[in-house]
């Protein structure tokens, strides 16, 4: 042993320590690096957010949101961490000297020993986890907290609880949040106490005798008492929650809710308080008998009072006479819903839809309109792109926008779009970092077309076009740095006198080389310093920002560039409309975004899903965003937001200054929303009624136009928005039944002296019928004293008036229209007919339908739709023409006041003689062409049959009494001699006088 037997193992042990020291040193190093990277990532996100808000002069928004989130994070997080850690320490210090029962497994005690040895570390880890868990959850509730902290009274008192509406909208949600945090803190503390007592033997469910030590019983009793006390508070809050609960019929308190659920909640709250007292008493008595009895009583009471009593009352008393029992509650729901959605002033007018005007009167009424919009903004996007794109890297959205512009002495409905840059369209050889982010940085100019005009070739009549822009909309800054299709980020700006690199226009004013530009606005974040470049290289995950020589001391980075996104960040309490629209205002191109304040806690008001109510065939297509999936029962268009397309500045203007929710947020973010009086006249002329809010309101008015509780209950006058009849022709699934979108157009309602820019929609019955039941329009002109007034023309229920789907079917099946479209739709033509928006508007006591039809090539590059025909329907008549005036002349010439044919005119089902001749000769031409194809194919039987059809059509023209002059169109290629191959006995002949 003295010869070194015990010395030899020393070297391997030193080797193990040496070799083992590396991983022991490496793991902490890796962990430290990971933590540092996480912290730097969080810092980068926070600091770049601060820089962005400062760039738009809204640093107060950032500081308010960040300060509120940090406050909630530490207050709730520390409270949760302290409660859990305190209960662990109490359980540990009151542990018994001897366990109540052996541990469940031999190695189980080692966990307790390990925790005892590493107690401070374990407690620190648990405290950190609780801090992060509780703080993160709490910081996400900053909106609820700020709304409660700055709440503004509505000035309307709930008659059931005698509380201002503000209690339900602001106080109740915050109390619910506090209750949720209370539950979490107590439950986590209870779990921590149970685990600690279990580890150290103070709690053993498997023990034969005493299962918990005296200290454990005291701690458990107190925590369970607090838990039941919170349940009592929950029952008490539930009473107020009944005002926004959904029953089978409506949102709000029902008869059963008032007479069974409400008193049961009050009784259960009292029982829960008594039960909590029994748990607290167990601290002294230390027996689970009384708390157990109290818990059983509470559970049974919850079953009997909370479930069985309401069910029995509903079944035995309400259901047999439900219309009578629920009548006052339905009335309350109707009144609250109309108030919460701004529908109180809706005017319903009985409209016969049976014209009493003469054809000349109808023509005069049509002339009063400033022009029925024929250019469909959902169709002509490719036309704008092909005719005004100029270069392949410019683009227009799929769906364009409708606005009004004064051109000369008239205000015209105008289809408008912004020419934006889209780097994805650059050729592959031009795609590199410098081009993508420093050269192709902005779009250029606005393109606009008169909504009611078409050129001779069917293309739009431009009121603003070309590059550089020319037209009738005045001078303006044409550079578009902020838009709906802007690049994700661009590096712009440079020193004065430095070399410009940003592409301005593909060539100069008089041709030649491209013109270049250097951004001079203030809409970006400075990235001239190394620190900011490092931050944004991290944020954008792009090292080129740090390495490129294109980034100079005067550079700025532009990002978050879409108007909707900028408004969401500038006012995070707003819900922006899904369709921002551009306008030229005071020499600047701006984006106008409607902002909504919403709530889901307005008492007794009907709840709707915002995404479902606003969805139609245009939603989610192109740049039109879909609303979030959330329930609301209150909405106001409280803010008009304006985003400058050049410098990205965001201006928020109070629109509904009486909205208590807006007032609340203006107190939370003082100075961020400007008063309505600051809106300039030029901007005011372009503001309009918002589309998404209109969709929500029309969805509700389908049912809430009824104010009588009995009729409302019976659903005997329920309407619905019809499916878009043109969706199938536009490529949509015919089974989807997506709602028809509303349309902006200028029209004159029966009680209006002159036409107004309006947003319109129609209704059909909720049953499986497609006849028209109502037409609705809201005055969308912001300068009008009637702005926002809803007018509904209610049609008689005993008269069959065709709805959009039925009129569309008429257009599709009318012989004359089919014949006119036949040359377009023939496979050999390489084109197809595309039907535009089907507009409905009241005219002369009746309803006029107007639909443009476009021709678009089906294959090949550069195809775009051109307007070919205008289809109209009035009463029982349909007609078409190459212009609107031609179509109206045709339909009015054969329509009179009573719906009967005028004297000396054919009946509605019999077209006039000259039209019959045209139809017959067109059919003869079609048959003749088919005959020639059969002859070339050697099918003599088919050739004979088609020639017989030619003769029949010509005979019908002769029978109509039309005298065909030498210039009358006849089937081209009519043979004068029989063909050399076997042929029928007599070729077709032309009609003669």
Distance CA 126, CA 89 (A): 12
220 C-beta neighbours (distance < 10 Å), count: 22
Main-chain phi, psi angles of 719, to 5 degrees: -115, 175
Q: Which of 329-338, 565-574, 959-968 has the lowest mean pLDDT?
A: 959-968
Mean predicted lDDT score pLDDT of the chain: 86
Q: Which of 262-266, 396-400, 747-751 has the lowest mean pLDDT?
A: 747-751
pLDDT of residue 133: 94
Distance CA 527, CA 536 (A): 8
Each residue of 779-804: pLDDT tens digit? Answer: 999 999 999 999 999 998 888 889 99
| Sequence-ordered list of residues with C-beta below 8 angstroms from that of 716, at least 6 positions apart, any chain | none
Tokens of 912: 């006039």
Mean pLDDT of the 126-130 span: 94
pLDDT of residue 566: 96
Mean pLDDT of the 846-860 span: 89
Measured at the alpha carbon of residue 846, what is the angle toward residues 840 and 849, in degrees to the nearest 5? 25
Mean pLDDT of the 522-540 span: 94
Residue 169 has pLDDT above 60, yes or no: yes
Rounded (10°) CA dihedral 249, 254, 257, 263: 180
pLDDT of residue 182: 97
CB 567, CB 644: distance < 8 Å: no
Rg (CA), the chain: 38
pLDDT of residue 19: 47
The strand pairing partners of 763, in sequence order, are 774
Residue 844 has pLDDT above 90, yes or no: no
pLDDT of residue 334: 96
pLDDT of residue 359: 66
Pick 602 or 358 by higher pLDDT: 602
Residue by residue, what is the 3-state secondary structure of 820-875? Answer: HHHHHHCHHHCEEEEECCCEEEEECCEEEEEEEEEEEECCCCCCCCEEEEEEEEEC
Each residue of 474-509: pLDDT tens digit? Answer: 999 999 999 999 999 999 998 888 889 999 988 776
pLDDT of residue 357: 60
pLDDT of residue 794: 94
Q: Which of 206-220, 299-313, 332-346, 395-409 has the lowest mean pLDDT?
A: 206-220
Burial degree of 382 (CB within 10 A; 0-12, 13-18, 19+): middle
pLDDT of residue 688: 96
Pick 6 or 847 by higher pLDDT: 847
Mean pLDDT of the 571-595 span: 96
Q: Which of 312-321, 830-839, 905-914 has the lowest mean pLDDT?
A: 905-914
Residue 961 has pLDDT above 60, yes or no: no
Mean pLDDT of the 849-864 span: 87
Task: Convert 286-296 to b/e letters by CB count within 10 Å (16 or more is b).
Answer: eebeebeebbe
Residue 44 has pLDDT above 90, yes or no: yes
Q: Which of 527-541, 648-662, 669-683, 910-924 has the lowest mean pLDDT?
A: 910-924
Mean pLDDT of the 109-128 span: 78
Residue 532 has pLDDT above 70, yes or no: yes
**pLDDT tier, 148 (very low <50, low <70, confident <90, very high otherwise):** very high
Percent of the chain at pLDDT above 90?
Answer: 61
Residue 895 has pLDDT above 80, yes or no: no
Distance CA 637, CA 327 (A): 31
pLDDT of residue 28: 79
Mean pLDDT of the 744-748 span: 89
Mean pLDDT of the 162-173 span: 96
pLDDT of residue 369: 64
**pLDDT tier, 523 (very low <50, low <70, confident <90, very high otherwise):** confident
Residue by residue, what is the 3-state secondary structure of 358-388? Answer: CHHHHHHHHHHCCCCCCCCCCCCHHHHHHHH
pLDDT of residue 22: 60
Task: Convert 111-137 to b/e letters by CB count within 10 Å (16 or more is b).
Answer: ebeebeeeeeeebeebbeebbebbbeb
Closest-CA residue to 503 (of 480, 523, 521): 480
Pick 510 or 654 by higher pLDDT: 654
CB 333, CB 250: distance < 8 Å: yes
pLDDT of residue 365: 64
Q: Which of 162-176, 721-735, 775-789 has the lowest mean pLDDT?
A: 721-735
Residue 713 has pLDDT above 80, yes or no: yes
pLDDT of residue 633: 95
Q: Which helix (H) or strand (E) holds 893?
A: helix 884-893
Q: Which of 176-190, 237-251, 744-758 has the lowest mean pLDDT?
A: 744-758
pLDDT of residue 960: 57
Q: Give the three-class secondary structure for 878.
A: strand
**pLDDT tier, 119 (very low <50, low <70, confident <90, very high otherwise):** confident
Mean pLDDT of the 202-224 span: 85
**pLDDT tier, 928 (very low <50, low <70, confident <90, very high otherwise):** confident
Most confident residue range from 7-21, 226-240, 456-470: 226-240
Q: Which helix (H) or strand (E) holds 32?
A: helix 10-55
pLDDT of residue 914: 56
Q: What's this model's pTM, rounded to 2 decimal places?
A: 0.84
């Amino acid at each position: 042993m003295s010869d070194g037997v015990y010395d030899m193992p020393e070297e391997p042990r030193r080797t193990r320590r040496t070799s083992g020291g590396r991983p022991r040193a490496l793991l902490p190093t890796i962990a430290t690096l990971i933590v540092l990277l996480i912290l730097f990532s969080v810092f980068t996100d926070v600091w770049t957010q601060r820089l962005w808000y400062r760039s738009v002069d809204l640093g107060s928004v950032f500081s308010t949101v960040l300060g509120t989130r940090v406050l909630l994070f530490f207050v709730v997080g520390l409270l949760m961490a302290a409660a859990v850690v305190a209960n662990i320490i109490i359980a540990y210090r009151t542990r018994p000297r001897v366990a109540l029962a052996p541990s469940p497994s031999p190695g189980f005690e080692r966990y307790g020993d390990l925790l005892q040895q590493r107690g401070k570390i374990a407690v620190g880890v648990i405290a950190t986890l609780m801090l992060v868990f509780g703080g993160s959850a709490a910081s996400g509730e900053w909106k609820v907290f700020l709304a409660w902290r700055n709440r503004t009274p509505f000035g309307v008192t709930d008659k059931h609880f005698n509380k201002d509406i503000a209690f339900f909208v602001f106080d109740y949600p915050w109390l619910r949040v506090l209750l949720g945090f209370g539950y979490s803190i107590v439950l986590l503390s209870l779990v921590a106490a149970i685990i600690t007592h279990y580890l150290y033997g103070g709690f053993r469910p498997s023990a034969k005798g005493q299962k918990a030590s005296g200290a454990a019983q005291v701690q458990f009793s107190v925590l369970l008492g607090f838990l039941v006390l919170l349940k009592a508070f929950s029952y008490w809050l539930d009473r107020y929650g009944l005002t926004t609960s959904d029953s089978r019929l409506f949102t709000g308190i029902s008869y059963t809710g008032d007479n069974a659920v409400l008193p049961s909640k009050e009784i259960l709250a009292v029982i829960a308080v008594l039960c909590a007292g029994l748990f607290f008493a167990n601290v002294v008595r230390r027996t689970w008998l009384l708390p157990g009895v109290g818990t059983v009583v509470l559970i049974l009471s919850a079953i009997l009072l909370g479930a069985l009593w309401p069910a029995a009352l509903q079944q035995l008393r309400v259901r047999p006479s439900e219309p009578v029992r629920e009548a006052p509650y339905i009335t309350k729901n109707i009144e609250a819903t109309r108030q919460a959605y701004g529908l109180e002033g809706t005017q319903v007018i009985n409209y016969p839809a049976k014209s009493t005007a003469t054809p000349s009167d109808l023509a005069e009424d049509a002339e009063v309109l400033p022009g029925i919009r024929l250019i469909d903004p959902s169709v002509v996007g490719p036309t704008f792109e092909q005719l005004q794109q100029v270069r392949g890297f410019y683009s227009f959205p799929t769906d364009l926008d409708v606005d009004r512009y004064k051109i000369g002495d008239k205000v015209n409905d105008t289809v408008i779009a912004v020419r934006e840059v889209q780097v994805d369209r650059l050729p592959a050889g031009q795609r590199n970092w410098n081009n993508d982010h420093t050269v192709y940085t902005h779009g250029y100019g606005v393109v606009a077309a008169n909504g009611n005009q078409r050129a001779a070739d069917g293309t739009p009549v431009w009121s603003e076009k070309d590059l550089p822009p020319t037209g009738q909309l005045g001078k303006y800054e044409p550079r578009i740095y902020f838009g709906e299709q802007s690049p994700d980020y661009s590096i712009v700006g440079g020193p004065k006198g430095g070399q410009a690199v940003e592409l301005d226009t593909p060539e100069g004013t008089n041709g030649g080389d491209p013109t270049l530009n250097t951004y001079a606005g203030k809409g970006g974040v400075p990235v001239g310093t190394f620190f900011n470049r490092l931050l944004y290289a991290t944020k954008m995950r792009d090292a080129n920002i740090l390495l490129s020589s294109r980034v100079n001391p005067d550079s700025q980075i532009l990002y978050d560039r879409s108007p909707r996104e900028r408004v969401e960040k500038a006012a995070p309490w707003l819900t922006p409309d899904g369709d921002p629209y551009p306008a030229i205002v005071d020499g600047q191109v701006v984006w106008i975004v409607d902002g909504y304040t919403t709530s889901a806690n307005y008492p007794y008001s009907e709840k709707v899903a915002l995404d479902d109510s606003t969805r139609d065939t245009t939603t989610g297509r192109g740049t039109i965003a879909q609303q979030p999936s959330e329930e609301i029962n209150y909405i106001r268009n409280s803010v008009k937001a304006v985003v400058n397309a050049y410098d990205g500045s965001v201006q928020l203007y109070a629109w509904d200054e009486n909205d208590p929710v807006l007032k609340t947020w203006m107190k939370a973010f003082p100075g961020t929303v400007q008063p309505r009086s600051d809106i300039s006249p030029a901007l005011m002329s372009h503001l309009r009624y918002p589309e998404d809010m209109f969709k929500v309101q029309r969805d509700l008015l389908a049912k809430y136009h009824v104010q009588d509780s009995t009729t409302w209950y019976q659903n005997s006058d329920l309407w619905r928005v019809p499916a878009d009849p043109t969706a199938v022709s536009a490529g949509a699934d015919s089974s989807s039944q997506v709602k028809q979108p509303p349309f902006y157009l200028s029209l004159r309602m029966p009680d209006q002296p002159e036409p107004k820019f309006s947003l319109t929609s129609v209704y059909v019955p909720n049953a499986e019928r497609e006849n028209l039941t109502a037409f609705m329009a809201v005055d969308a002109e912001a300068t009008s004293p009637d702005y926002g007034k809803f007018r509904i023309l209610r049609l008689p229920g005993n008269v069959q008036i065709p709805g959009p789907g039925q009129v569309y079917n008429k257009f599709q099946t009318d012989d004359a229209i089919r014949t006119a479209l036949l040359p377009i739709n023939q496979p050999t033509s390489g084109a197809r007919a595309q039907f535009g928006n089907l507009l409905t508007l009241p005219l002369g006591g009746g309803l006029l339908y107007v639909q443009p039809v476009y021709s678009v090539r089906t294959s090949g590059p550069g195809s775009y739709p051109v307007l070919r025909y205008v289809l109209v329907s009035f009463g029982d008549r349909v007609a078409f023409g190459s212009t609107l005036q031609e179509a109206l002349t045709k339909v009015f010439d054969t329509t009179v006041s009573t719906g009967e044919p005028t004297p000396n005119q054919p009946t509605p089902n019999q077209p006039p003689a000259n039209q019959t001749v045209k139809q017959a000769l067109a059919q003869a031409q079609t048959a003749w062409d088919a005959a020639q194809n059969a002859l070339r194919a050697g099918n003599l039987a088919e050739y004979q049959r088609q020639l017989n059809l030619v003769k029949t059509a010509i005979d019908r023209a002769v029978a109509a009494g039309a005298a065909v002059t030498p210039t009358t169109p006849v089937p081209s290629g009519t043979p004068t001699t029989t063909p050399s191959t076997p042929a029928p006995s007599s070729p077709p002949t032309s009609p003669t006088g």
